[in-house]
Structure 1
Amino acid sequence: MTRASFKHLLPFVLTALLPVLAQAAAAARLDFVNGEVRALSASGETRSLAKGSELQTGDTVLTGRDGRAQLRFTDGALVSLQPQSEYRLDNYRFAGQADGQERGFFSLLKGGLRTLTGLIGRANRDSYKVSTAVATIGIRGTEFTVTYLDPETIAIATGEGRIEVCNRAGCIIVASGEAAVVRGHDQLPQLTASRPRLDPAQPMLSDVRPPFVAGDAVRGMESGPDYSMQFASNATVPFGKDNLTAQFSGLDLLVQASDGTHSFSVGAGLAEAASRDGLIGWGRWSQARLEDASVLDNFHYVAGRLTPLSDITGLGDGTYTYTLANGGATTAIDINAGVQTLTAASLVANFSSSIMNLSLNLQLSGNANPFSETLSPTARSQTFVFDGLSDGQGGFGQAAGMFVGAGAPYVGITYQLQPYFGAKVTGSAALGR
């Protein structure tokens, strides 16, 4: 299998800075650059940045009057910098997993940004921090916006989850959907009804794929006909649609899918997206707008062209294992906007003669036991449904999926899981072999 292609992002992060050697491993890569964007190294050297440029600890990214940049960090965090911004990577360390040594300290010196946080800070909140001239921001959630109103005042807003904002006067928690303003070092941060606006307004994309490797080839999703999609939302169980014409943005976000009668298009709010090898894409929209103008909240999807049935029937007898390590997943969100992570997932397909036997296993970060189910043997098929997932402790769920690509290199699934304690969780994932 070819190495996965990696694209998009639009988040950002902030903290304090430490110099690093020029040969150090890259901390982030630019997936989008518009206008004048430069980097200032810890040693004082300036260089122009373009799509694909890499950043290291100690670098400061500077955007010009019309400059915008989108960064993807190796822990999956995304940062979108606004025009006339200065954003510094103070101390960044990530070895591919949360091992207690990870650090994500950044500084927003000027301008504004919007960020989706990654793995750093999820297990140890003290390992993530964004510093500004008047306050520091600690992670308690996944998405927030920060912008300077003047050199001594910042405005902050959360999208999902919570953040902690602190200065000399004390700390406040800014919950999901709330906003705050900080005026100077010595005045306590205050909640406010006014949310900062970053222009031009646009959806934010998050790339939830594994960390990038320098030199990876980039191959994205192509718009066109003959797509299939599995989807789920707060209001709909996992379900599939075939014969769709799909439109993808240059950042691999599915922006619209239609079969001529029914259509799905990205609505307002946060969006995240990723893909593998240009074959399978997955993502989440805060809102999906349907053809009748109705809205589905917390819409998760996976899209691709179905594996031809002849390829399914032509697969040799044996066992094929698909895992999350060879794919990726959306941020799992419950009906109360709580955030979880799909930490592990696998589908084992056993083919024998004209029969297939499928077993699915899904592990959520907030649930002790995995949800699993083994289907009764059935005829080989391009799609499948699990309607009896169980964690053995009273939790249950459903999932729908499909084989994607010539030779079935990928499986796409959407799922809804109801823990015995807690709220219903929805997500989507691509599994590869």
Structure 2
Amino acid sequence: MKRHLIQLAQCVALLGGMLQASAYADNAGHIVFVSGKADIGGQSVALNSPVAEGAELTTGADGYLYLKTIDNGFFILRPNSRARIVAYHVDTREPANTHIKLELLNGVARSISGDAVKQARQNFRFNTPVAAIGVRGTDFTVYTNQETSRIAVISGGVVASGFVPGCSPQGTGPCEGSMSAELFARQQGQLLQISKDQVKPLLLQSNGVAPDVIAPPRPDEPGSKAANTGSTVISSTPVNELNLDPKRGADIKQAISAPGLNTNNQGTSQIMWGRWAEVLGQPAKLDLVKLSSEAKTIAILDNFALFQTKNTEWQPPNTGTMGFALKDSEAYVRDEVKGLMTVAQIQNASLNVDFAKATFATNFDLNTTIGAYKLNSVGSVDSKGQFSNDNIFTSNMVVQGVLTPENGGAAAYLFKSRLDDTHLAAGATVWAKK
């Protein structure tokens, strides 16, 4: 009898192991955060939703998805993006049997290696329409469209290649050879770019085209690993923890929220803008968690955020033009090597909107401690009054903003610009009709 009980217990244990392995093979993980428009396989996403192998993830213009994988990694999808979990099979007993493959079809995503990926790097592949990416135990971001992919590394390193004989989209694991290139986190300010017509990756300076510039992370984006308690470690380093120059604290202007104004029979509209983090001893002025649930997120760039009261979108006219005068602003420059931040001043600013063409153009002089810079941006205005630069090659700064009808016309936008290899400028501007 005792022998039969032992055999039964062994069978139960074996069955449990098989069921666990099966669960690992079926599910890549579960959703730990969702904001804005996002879906899985065409269905709206709910918190804690499981994500199975083969699932397609999609986000809208305001959508963010955080997938925590079964091996304690993260796959993060930012706005206007589409990705697929091709395979996520984890074998903890035999890491050589682990097989993980992710695919970013368009947009921006961040991949943070979990335990299984670190143990079986040779069996991990991250595909885009034009590139195959392998890891060295890594945290990286990717931007892609159908023609070009760009990769930036946060920690660890990647090896990337265009699709060539011996490296097909259907393959698994990293592609390494004469047509591949590596990038490591220590190469600050650099990224890899792979184009459809130039399969060997190019090593380039970011210069405002990095994935984080095209689709910035939320300030609550998870870090590289989960804490022992199961809670998420936040990766965004608070500004007040950097090696800042306290002597410049008095120079920073207070970020303020513009008051709600009469909108000519369209209810009350309110633009809320400012810093969500402390800078140079000056406190944050925005509560991102609260505003993200109560207002519409227009943009989050660096330590600035811009919100609009929900259900107050303006439908701009389809004729005429409008010029705006700068009413208020705040800007700073970050030295990414030294970790220092200094105040910048905006002068000679201009913003013009052509409603007939649904376009905008803006420029200003940015005076900093390292010199004066002329920044400019042109782009499109959508049917709800939101605007952004849709061609980064015709501008030297990223702009994301919104138009409202208060007092005959108002606007606000956030900007971010790479000044040189080590200095990054960011700020917020508020405008009124001339």
Superposed pair shares fold, TM > 0.5: no
Scaled to the shorter chain, the TM-score interval is: 0.3 to 0.5
Greater RCO (CA < 8 Å, at least 6 residues apart): 1
Which of the pair has more CA radius of gyration?
2
- TM-score (norm. length: structure 2): 0.42
More strand by share: 1
More helix by share: 2
